Amino acid sequence: MDPDRILRLLAEVASGERSVEEAADVLRRFPFGELTAEQEAGAHPKASAGRVDARVDHHRAMRTGFAEVVFCQGKTPSQLRSIAREILEHGDVLLATRASAAHFQAVAQLADDARFFEDARVIVVDRRAERPAAGHIVVATGGTADVPVAEEAAICAEVMGNRVTRLYDVGVAGIHRLLSFGETLDSAHVIIAVAGMEGALPSLVAGLVGVPVVGVPTSVGYGAHFGGVAPLLTMLNSCAAGIGVVNVDNGFGAAALASRINQAASEGAP
């Protein structure tokens, strides 16, 4: 539940539209809701009796500015469906990452407005009357193979309420491609630079702009790339200032960090 919804609830109590008891019922599961295995469709009652599988944090948006995001990897479709139901009963947005087609089908059973971004492995349900689009985040990739991770970052950043521009396939093998977007880079409050192989893109970008750069190493590359370790070390050892680095393939983590930077910059803008 977000702050606006709390304020509407309190206003309804004050105006007499809703009773104190009704409001108490809405708030009864704060600050989090517990989901037991028995609530999942198809769960075996004896094997899972009394087991709490998830505790959904309904205060997350009030503390951090955005609702709890669901990491689907390792969760069964039925677990995700229960979590999604709990989130949507208390809020207007569901954002789930590392999702499969089976996860999406489970969510679609209870939310026919759910959208699945297959390449990014992201599920979105957004029931806000109007999505905010603050500031400006640029998401750039070294190559086309990095786009799935970049799309996870871009989609998550957009759902979190940011204006996003995508600049894909602008890596160091053809620097002129990146340099041709100088005005776009200069207009950003923060830049997410996604790269595999040697991972040099964040260093290049950080040497051109005066805003924070979030480096995202990807697992794209040949053998000595070591599944993303090579670009991770390149980014951590960059001689360019102003770079923060997230984990390999962590588009969501980059979006969350960039969103906080962008929105703080937007609030302070004249």
- CATH number of the domain encompassing residue 254: 3.40.50.1970
**How many domains is the chain built from?**
3
Number of Cβ within a 10 Å radius of residue 116: 18
Identify whether 268 is part of a domain. Answer: no
Same domain, 247 and 164: yes
Whole-number Å distance between alpha carbons of 251 and 217: 9
Which run of H or E residues covers position 97?
strand 93-97
Identify whether 156 is part of a domain. Answer: yes
Same domain, 209 and 248: yes
C-alpha torsion angle, residues 228, 232, 233, 236 (rounded to 10): 180
* Domain coverage including residue 94: 33-126
Same domain, 4 and 86: no
Residue 80: predicted pLDDT: 93
Residue 17: predicted pLDDT: 87
Whole-number Å distance between alpha carbons of 112 and 127: 12
pLDDT in tens, 212-229: 999 999 999 999 999 999
Identify whether 112 is part of a domain. Answer: yes
Q: What is the pTM assigned to this prediction?
A: 0.81
Residue 124: predicted pLDDT: 97
| pLDDT of residue 48 exceeding 60 | no
| pLDDT of residue 42 exceeding 60 | no
Lowest mean pLDDT among 67-76, 174-183, 216-225, 260-269: 260-269
Residue 265: predicted pLDDT: 86
Scanning 187-250, the segments in alpha helix (DSSP H) are 201-206, 229-236
Identify whether 270 is part of a domain. Answer: no
Strand partners, 166: 139
Same domain, 57 and 155: no
Identify whether 83 is part of a domain. Answer: yes
Same domain, 139 and 224: yes
Strand partners, 244: 214
Identify whether 269 is part of a domain. Answer: no
pLDDT in tens, 130-187: 888 999 999 999 999 999 999 999 999 999 999 999 999 999 889 999 999 999 999 9
Coil, helix or strand for 141?
strand
